[in-house]
Amino acid sequence: MMTDPLQARLELAVQRAFQELFDAEIPLKQVSFQATRPEFEGDVTINVFPFLKQSGKGPEPTATAIGEYLVQEEPVVARFNVIKGFLNLVIAESYWTGFVAEAAARDILQFPSNGRRVMVEYSSPNTNKPLHLGHLRNNFLGHSVSRILKAAGHEVVRVQVINDRGIHICKSMVAWRKLGKGETPQSSGLKGDKLVGKYYVEFDKAFKAEVDTLVAGGMVREAAEKEAPILLEAQEMLRQWEANDPEVRALWERMNGWVYDGFNATYTRMGVEFDKLYYESNTYVLGKQDVLDGLEKGIFFRKEDGSVWVDNTAEGLDEKVLLRRDGTSVYMTQDIGTAIQRFKEFPGLAQLTYVVGNEQDYHFKTLFIILRKLGFPWAQDLHHLSYGMVDLPSGKMKSREGTVVDADDLIEEVVGEARAMGEQLSKLDDFSEQEKAALFEMIGLAALKYYLLKVDPKKRMLFDPAASIDLQGHTGPFIQYTYARIRSLLRKAEGMGTWASDQRGAWDLLPEERTVIKLLHQLPTVLHEAAHKLDPSALANHTYELVKAYNSFYQAIPVLKEESSDRRAFRLALSAAVADATKKAMWCLGINVPERM
């Protein structure tokens, strides 16, 4: 993980100070820095209490001696003060202004290739229903993590597994065959994924009606749920699919084709992309031989009924079946095989991250343990980005009952909120209708993505469409508005001259300027922390703090009306650097920003 360059420089300086002042060596990792508390003067604070043994002095004399050394020997330290053994350092104006010049000249959030290839798996929908609100959080997390990793210097491979087989798929197929009367996306006007999802709901209605009829005829409900004719028909269809029945396979390919077209339309609108697709209809055959090899090596064991199991009780889990007694695979089996195949397909793969909801925590803990037991060294580089569910004020979603919040519908709702807000503000008179529509689409998607990404992925969250669009709140549109404001400012400033490098440090920075610069300076480190922790929320929240500080600066300090041409040029350079960094940070979150708003 990247160390803040200023911090790295100060760490070495403090280490030298102890060596020269006290003839003592201190490990770099033990030198800790923190932001100086607002009530004290300073930018960086060092706690010297852990090093009193090396200095042989009390906390205040130790801190004073180190402070005096740094002011004398390290140009970035302008002055210091000591508060009860805490050394507060004031960083020189020339360092901050030099950084602004650098940030205005290059992309501070793009790092050279580090030679590491990493894979991120996300989305992974079922082809029996449309994408829903939970898929939105999954896709936005996966896509954002991929971009953050790319900006941090990794080569990123984005993949998804499409769950295109199984009893759930057959339920939609049976319902369409019995009730569909040949309905297609073209004849119905429905997107293909919505049409197939409609028949998944119809299956459940028919199933419940048949169960109720059997129960009314005297059958116990538990038995009726196993003997309902439409369920038996779906189970038979699955057997026919596995036997490669031509008619069943043709229907399966036709209906899945409708779903893929629907998914792709939603992905395109979301701005989400993949480099490789895996289909469960292919991957479900993987892993069986790997399990049998593990059985032969004594890693797994066979029970009396012939099923094959792994014992993870030593790792605090339990026993897990890997092959049923009839020799067929379970989901764990194919995940074992798919992981092995990926590391063969992509030589040198250094990391594989699965973006999957936290209801699968146990599954991935078990998977990773099994792969370690099988002796794959890369098993330690597997990560589960576990995220919490998303709720709406209306409550929990159930796909089989048709109460799922459809992703397309939710996107349309938030874009509609953006449209209503934009028309109410009435600042778009010079926009064409096409330009307005594109802007409202951009704002709505920013609202949705940012609201879902600003929360720690591990936490369950409540999504409020109206709150997500607030131009004055902690929202994506607020960040977009600030970016557009800066771009407007810079357009007005064209021809006013540029800030020259020899003007650095010619004046004292104002507190508002200093606050913006320090937040901008921290942004590359925050990006690397987000990449290391696979957590876009850190980058999202820091970007908000940056633009919020810029707004305070903009409202308190003149920019274009500044009388000093040097100061004006500096503030314009700072504004440009904030705009560029904001645009790149939002790109890392999968969010576009408008030039006008």
Measured distance CA(303)–CA(321) in Å, rounded: 10
Both structure tokens of 448? 């949705």
Q: What pLDDT digit, counting tens, does each position of 142-190 carry?
A: 999 999 999 999 999 999 999 999 999 999 999 999 999 999 999 999 9
Q: Residue 244: is its pLDDT beyond 70? A: yes
* Ranges 101-105, 243-247, 253-257: which has the least confidence: 101-105
With bands split at pLDDT 50, 70 and 90, how would you rate the model's confidence at 403?
low
Both structure tokens of 469? 């669009």
CA torsion sign, 226 to 230 to 234 to 240? positive
Residues making up the chain, counted from first to last: 597
- 97-to-91, 486, 500 alpha-carbon distances in Å: 11, 19, 11
- Whether the Cβ atoms of residue 70 and residue 486 lie closer than 8 Å to each other: no
**Cα atoms in the 13 Å half-sphere on the side-chain side of 112:** 0
CATH topology for the 5-91 domain: Gyrase A; domain 2 (3.30.1360)
Please compute Rg for the chain using Cα positions.
30
**Residue extent(s) of CATH 1.10.730.10 domains in the chain:** 407-588
Both structure tokens of 106? 């290059």
CATH topology for the 407-588 domain: Isoleucyl-tRNA Synthetase; Domain 1 (1.10.730)
- Whether the Cβ atoms of residue 10 and residue 71 lie closer than 8 Å to each other: no
Q: Write the DSSP symbol of residue 228.
A: -
| All residues at 6 or more sequence positions from 417 whose CB lies less than 8 Å from its CB, including other chains | 444, 447, 465, 466, 468, 469
pLDDT recorded at residue 495? 75
Measured distance CA(185)–CA(130) in Å, rounded: 13
- Whether the Cβ atoms of residue 376 and residue 401 lie closer than 8 Å to each other: no
- Whether the Cβ atoms of residue 322 and residue 300 lie closer than 8 Å to each other: yes
* Ranges 419-428, 452-461, 471-480: which has the least confidence: 419-428
pLDDT recorded at residue 395? 55
**Average pLDDT estimate for 92-103:** 93
Burial class (CB in 10 A: 0-12, 13-18, 19+), 392: middle
Task: Count other C-beta atoms under 10 Å from residue 448's C-beta.
Answer: 29
pLDDT recorded at residue 425? 75
Measured distance CA(260)–CA(193) in Å, rounded: 7
pLDDT recorded at residue 398? 47
Query: How far is residue 343 CA from its own chain's centroid?
Result: 23
Q: Residue 397: is its pLDDT beyond 50? A: no
pLDDT recorded at residue 498? 67
**Cα atoms in the 13 Å half-sphere on the side-chain side of 514:** 17
Q: Write the DSSP symbol of residue 51.
A: G
Q: Write the DSSP symbol of residue 259.
A: H
Q: Write the DSSP symbol of residue 558.
A: -
Of the candidates 446, 578, 452, the residue with the CA atom closest to the CA atom of residue 522: 578
Q: Residue 394: is its pLDDT beyond 80? A: no
With bands split at pLDDT 50, 70 and 90, how would you rate the model's confidence at 424?
confident
**Residue extent(s) of CATH 3.30.1360.70 domains in the chain:** 5-91
Q: Residue 561: is its pLDDT beyond 80? A: yes
Average pLDDT, the chain: 93
pLDDT recorded at residue 426? 67
**Average pLDDT estimate for 353-375:** 97
Q: SS3 for 474-539, per residue?
A: CCHHHHHHHHHHHHHHHHHCCCCCCCCHHHCCCCCCCHHHHHHHHHHHHHHHHHHHHHHHCCHHHH
Both structure tokens of 424? 């109410």
Residue for token pair 């350079």: 573
- What CATH number does domain 117-276+336-401 carry, 2.70.98.10, 3.40.50.300, 3.40.50.620, 3.90.1150.10? 3.40.50.620
With bands split at pLDDT 50, 70 and 90, how would you rate the model's confidence at 402?
very low
**Cα atoms in the 13 Å half-sphere on the side-chain side of 331:** 10
Q: What pLDDT digit, counting tens, does each position of 477-511 carry?
A: 999 999 999 999 999 998 776 665 555 445 689 99
* pTM of this structure: 0.93
Q: Residue 518: is its pLDDT beyond 60? A: yes
Of the candidates 370, 309, 176, 337, the residue with the CA atom closest to the CA atom of residue 255: 176
- Whether the Cβ atoms of residue 364 and residue 318 lie closer than 8 Å to each other: no
**Residue extent(s) of CATH 3.40.50.620 domains in the chain:** 117-276+336-401
Listed in order, strand segments (DSSP E) in 413-480 are 461-462
**Average pLDDT estimate for 305-331:** 95
